[in-house]
Amino acid sequence: MKKLFHGLGPGFIVFLVLVLAACGGSAGGPSGGAPSGGNTGGANNLNIAFLPKAINNPYFDTAATGAKNAAGELKGTFKQVGPSTASASEQVTWINTLTEQHVSAIVVSANDPNALAPALKQAIAQGIKVVSYDSDVAPDARQVFVNQANSEDIGRIEVQVLGKELNYSGQIAILSAASTATNQNAWIGFMKDELSKPQYKGMSLVKVVYGNDDDQTSFNDTLNLLQAYPNLKGIISPTTVGIAAAARAIESVNKGGKVALTGLGTPNQMRKYVKDGTVQSFALWDPGQLGYLAYYAAAALIQGKITGKPGESFDAGKLGTKMIGANGVVLLGPPTVFDKSNIDQFNF
Amino acid sequence: MKRLRTFLSSWEALLVVLLLLAIVLGSSLSPYFLTGFNVSSLTRDLMEKAIMALSMTLIIIAGEIDLSVASTLGLASVILGATWNAGVPLWLGMIIVLVVGATAGALNGLLVTRLGLPSLVVTLGTLALYRGLAYVVLGDQAVSDFPAAFTTFGFGSVPGTLIPWPFVVFVLLALVFMGVLHWSWIGRQIYAVGNNKEAARFAGIRVARLKLMLFVLSGLLAALAGIIFTARFSSARPDNALGFELDVITIVLLGGVNIFGGRGTLVGVILSLFIIGALRNALGLANVSGDIQNIVVGALLVFSVLGPNVAQYIQAALTRRRLAAGGSTKKV
């Protein structure tokens, strides 16, 4: 009897191996018995899933609202899933889950461009369309990237805004999100390049810290910056979670107005700080429009209207016709700068 | 008939039932659960925990515990990333990482055997220590540009089938461990030590040396799991595998290994491995988040410790009642 017990374990493993080998195929399609993916071929089955960097993030929730509107217009379905913290490995788990659920398209904002690539390529091999938005992945792991604005514009505008506020002199720091986030690193690259221009020679970038899009971490990071660099004159935080936490941190040590803060934030989060002077101006775009455009792009891919090649164009509902640029990138438009004069016109 | 009843009343039978229940739950939650692709995927997700569970089984049977396995995995992953970044060839980096893992395990083992500290406390401390070291090594950075061949090993399957490469590694290790635990003198020594440490020592077993070897083995396998994890996600981060020790220990305890040592089989552990894997996969397909999945796993952990104890208590109570009624203690 004991021998039979001990046979159970290896027996089970052998069984599993046989199952996997039998169901094997080069791409590993679903075995017979499961309904074959009608969504992948059907022109009207718009089962689109959004996978942001993390859920419960107001920026991505606003994008989701825009996407839901698009889903309503196109009569498709929308769902948003994601990790509770900005973790690339958890995003991979979600990508696998979505692949197994055979959604028509995955729209993802990446915490790490390379970590997600194998899982996304597998999804593409299963016939699922992949669109990246907000933060790109490796170009061969997606078909279209919906960029909110030109990365160069975003990076340079941040530095230009802060430079003007500080009269082009002083120490500054950057409070970023995850250290591997594609969009952050692209913007920071352009920020550093802008800072190397002659008119900024009075300013120096002393540190880049990574708050991981976590409120508590960003808050503590800002306080540490203020303590470690008593002469710090300005902070750029190109992340909506980061800038909100930094504003709170600056106010909590009564440095509002003494340390300039700018970056990317939502008008609703920043309204209080703009009105009381902690933040003079900041930039963003409409995340709702970003989500809306990403949904339309995914739908166009599913319906076969585009394949992601430069030069193709597709209908983007209220946003008109959008053309795909080099590297499969679609631009939403130029960033908007918010300050006291216009912040009350927006509600997101 | 008596043999069948003995089997049916064993913990392994209960596990088989649980596994079938998990499979039924999974297929009712999603039509894609029983596809080859999904089974391959859930197996792939499971392999790091599976490898760590193999050595954890031996440690718990011997009467100790190792809470630091996930932190050792994270440290190993980070060191692999750091060496790769520094230009060290990957194969050399992997050897360095395995040595680091074994050293981490040795530290645990020495503190437990030489200083006589309880392993619960020691490994709780090293859980924090090794995770902290991982953060020191890489800071808040992450390394993610590993070569494609490495990623294919972690993420891909044996060509022509759906068998993930890490599964092949696990099967080989599992066969070795089963041979050692159930059919060799080392295994018998481990059971003896777990049942009664003092008696084992008087019987001539080198208890301290055995336990030290088990901790070194645990660290080594955690480092191996770290290599596989890094390959699978193509990403070396300090927070890799955060919280995995919950699943690993649950798998071992649910598998029928007694927390107080001396009892348990690898067969049970392998069955419970797939129960946990199937459960997590099924819940994920139903869009249940990882945090809520932890509730289910935690409940299973409590059940797996409570269950046998409650069963024993009930049996003892029944025996007492039978004696009080004037009957005999002989089982019917």
Chain A residues 243-302 with CB within 8 Å of chain B: none
Q: Check B235 against A1: CB less than 8 A apart.
A: no
Tell me if A61 is assigned to some domain. yes
Q: The domain that contains B15 carries what CATH number?
A: 1.10.3470
Query: Which pLDDT band holds residue B261 (cuts at 50, 70, 90)?
Result: confident
Examine the pLDDT at A290 and tell me if it is beyond 90. yes
Tell me if B304 is assigned to some domain. no
Contact A270, A343 (CB under 8 A): yes
Size of interface A-B (CB pairs under 8 A): 164
Examine the pLDDT at A25 and tell me if it is beyond 70. no
Domain count, chain A: 2
- Cβ contacts of B10 on chain A, cutoff 8 Å: 5
Examine the pLDDT at A18 and tell me if it is beyond 70. no
Q: Within this chain, do residues A52 and A199 fall inside the same structural domain, yes or no?
A: no
With an 8 Å Cβ cutoff, is B98 touching chain A?
A: no
Q: Within this chain, do residues A214 and A299 fall inside the same structural domain, yes or no?
A: no
- Cβ contacts of B13 on chain A, cutoff 8 Å: none
SS3 state of residue A24: coil
Cα–Cα distance for residue pair A137/A141, rounded to 1 Å: 7
Question: A262, A284, A306 — which closes off a domain?
Answer: A284
Mean pLDDT of A265-294: 89
Q: Check A179 against B141: CB less than 8 A apart.
A: yes
Cα–Cα distance for residue pair B180/B175, rounded to 1 Å: 9
Q: Which of B10, B19, B35 would you mutate first to test chain A, the one with the most A CBs within 10 A? A: B35
- Which pair of structure tokens corresponds to residue B124? 């709780």
- For B148, which residue in chain A has the nearest alpha carbon? A118
Tell me if A32 is assigned to some domain. no
Q: Which of B146, B235, B270 faces A13 most closely, judged by CB atoms?
A: B270
Q: Within this chain, do residues A239 and A328 fall inside the same structural domain, yes or no?
A: no
ipTM of the complex: 0.71
Contact A348, A285 (CB under 8 A): no
Q: Check A5 against B12: CB less than 8 A apart.
A: yes
Q: Within this chain, do residues A167 and A260 fall inside the same structural domain, yes or no?
A: yes
CA-angle at B191, arms to B189 and B197, nearest 5°: 80
Chain B residues 237-276 with CB within 8 Å of chain A: 237, 239-240, 265-267, 270-271, 274
Q: Report the candidate in B245, B297, B302, B268 with the shortest Cα–Cα distance to residue B69.
A: B245
Buried b (16+ CB within 10 A) or exposed e, A253-280: eebbeebbbbbbbbbebbbebbeeebbb
| Strand-pair partners of B103 | none
Mean pLDDT for all residues in chain A: 85
Chain B residues 119-178 with CB within 8 Å of chain A: 140-142, 144-146, 151-152, 155-157, 159-163, 167, 171, 174-175, 178
Which distant-in-sequence residues (6+ apart) come within 8 Å of B176 by Cβ?
none
Domain membership of residue B178 as a residue range: 2-293
Tell me if A213 is assigned to some domain. yes
Lowest mean pLDDT across B13-27, B137-151, B266-280 = B137-151
CA-to-CA separations, B112 to A57, A162, B128, B130, B203, in angstroms, rounded: 45, 56, 17, 17, 21
Chain A residues 18-37 with CB within 8 Å of chain B: 19-26, 28-31, 33-35
Q: Check B162 against A25: CB less than 8 A apart.
A: yes
* pLDDT, position A90: 83
Chain B residues 285-314 with CB within 8 Å of chain A: 285, 287, 289-291
pLDDT digits (tens, 9 = 90+) for A197-218: 999 999 999 999 999 889 999 9
Q: Within this chain, do residues A251 and A300 fall inside the same structural domain, yes or no?
A: no
Lowest mean pLDDT across A122-126, B193-197, B222-226, B284-288 = B284-288
pLDDT digits (tens, 9 = 90+) for B175-229: 999 999 999 999 999 999 999 999 999 999 999 999 999 999 999 999 999 999 9
Q: Within this chain, do residues A59 and A99 fall inside the same structural domain, yes or no?
A: yes
Domain membership of residue A163 as a residue range: 151-284
Full-model pTM = 0.78
Q: Within this chain, do residues A216 and A169 fall inside the same structural domain, yes or no?
A: yes
Cα–Cα distance for residue pair A18/A3, rounded to 1 Å: 22
Cα–Cα distance for residue pair B67/B54, rounded to 1 Å: 14
Mean pLDDT for all residues in chain B: 89
What is the rounded end-to-end Cα distance, in angstroms, of chain A?
Answer: 68
SS3 state of residue B184: coil
* pLDDT, position B292: 84
- Which pair of structure tokens corresponds to residue B255? 């598998």
- Which pair of structure tokens corresponds to residue A19? 């199952």
Examine the pLDDT at A9 and tell me if it is beyond 70. no
Mean pLDDT of B161-178: 92
Tell me if A278 is assigned to some domain. yes
Place of tokens 């055979």: A102
Q: Within this chain, do residues A193 and A276 fall inside the same structural domain, yes or no?
A: yes
Beta strands in chain A, from DSSP E residues, in sequence order: 47-51, 77-80, 105-108, 129-133, 144-147, 170-176, 203-210, 232-237, 260-263, 281-284, 313-315, 321-323, 329-331, 336-339
Tell me if B35 is assigned to some domain. yes
Place of tokens 């060799």: B184
Tell me if A263 is assigned to some domain. yes
Q: Which of B159, B175, B284 faces A10 most closely, judged by CB atoms?
A: B175
* pLDDT, position A180: 81
Lowest mean pLDDT across A12-21, A313-322, B253-262 = A12-21
Q: Within this chain, do residues A129 and A182 fall inside the same structural domain, yes or no?
A: no
Q: Within this chain, do residues A174 and A272 fall inside the same structural domain, yes or no?
A: yes
Q: Which of B51, B140, B291 would you mutate first to test chain A, the one with the most A CBs within 10 A? A: B140
* Stretch (H or E) spanning A273: helix A267-275
Task: Please report which residue ranges of chain B form alpha helices under DSSP H.
Answer: 2-8, 11-29, 36-61, 69-85, 90-113, 119-138, 148-155, 165-183, 185-195, 197-202, 207-233, 244-254, 266-285, 290-324
pLDDT digits (tens, 9 = 90+) for A144-155: 999 988 888 889
Q: Within this chain, do residues A137 and A225 fall inside the same structural domain, yes or no?
A: no
Q: Within this chain, do residues A268 and A326 fall inside the same structural domain, yes or no?
A: no
Cα–Cα distance for residue pair A105/A334, rounded to 1 Å: 27
Q: Which of B12, B162, B240 faces A24 most closely, judged by CB atoms?
A: B162
Tell me if B250 is assigned to some domain. yes
Tell me if A118 is assigned to some domain. yes
Tell me if A1 is assigned to some domain. no
Cα–Cα distance for residue pair B151/A282, rounded to 1 Å: 40
Residue B27, φ and ψ in degrees, nearest 5: -70, -25
Cα–Cα distance for residue pair B217/B69, rounded to 1 Å: 11
Q: Which of A114, A128, A175 would you mutate first to test chain B, the one with the most B CBs within 10 A? A: A114
pLDDT digits (tens, 9 = 90+) for A51-110: 999 988 889 999 999 999 999 999 999 999 988 888 888 898 899 889 988 899 999 999
Which distant-in-sequence residues (6+ apart) come within 8 Å of B101 by Cβ?
B72, B75, B76, B219, B220, B221, B222, B223, B224, B226
pLDDT digits (tens, 9 = 90+) for B47-81: 999 999 999 999 999 999 999 999 999 999 999 99
Q: Check B144 against A113: CB less than 8 A apart.
A: yes
Examine the pLDDT at A28 and tell me if it is beyond 80. no
- Which pair of structure tokens corresponds to residue B82? 């750091």
Q: Check B37 against A118: CB less than 8 A apart.
A: no
Query: Which pLDDT band holds residue A8 (cuts at 50, 70, 90)?
Result: low
Cα–Cα distance for residue pair A166/A235, rounded to 1 Å: 11
Q: Check B39 against A20: CB less than 8 A apart.
A: yes
Q: The domain that contains A213 carries what CATH number?
A: 3.40.50.2300
Cα–Cα distance for residue pair B94/B15, rounded to 1 Å: 36
Tell me if A59 is assigned to some domain. yes
Query: Which pLDDT band holds residue B3 (cuts at 50, 70, 90)?
Result: low
Tell me if B169 is assigned to some domain. yes
Q: Which of B19, B48, B178, B235 would you mutate first to test chain A, the one with the most A CBs within 10 A? A: B235
Q: Check B34 against A10: CB less than 8 A apart.
A: no
- For A49, which residue in chain B has the nearest alpha carbon? B287
Q: Which long-range contacts (CB under 8 A, 24 or more apart) does A314-320 make?
A: A316/A292, A317/A70, A317/A73, A317/A74, A317/A292, A318/A292, A319/A289, A319/A292, A319/A293
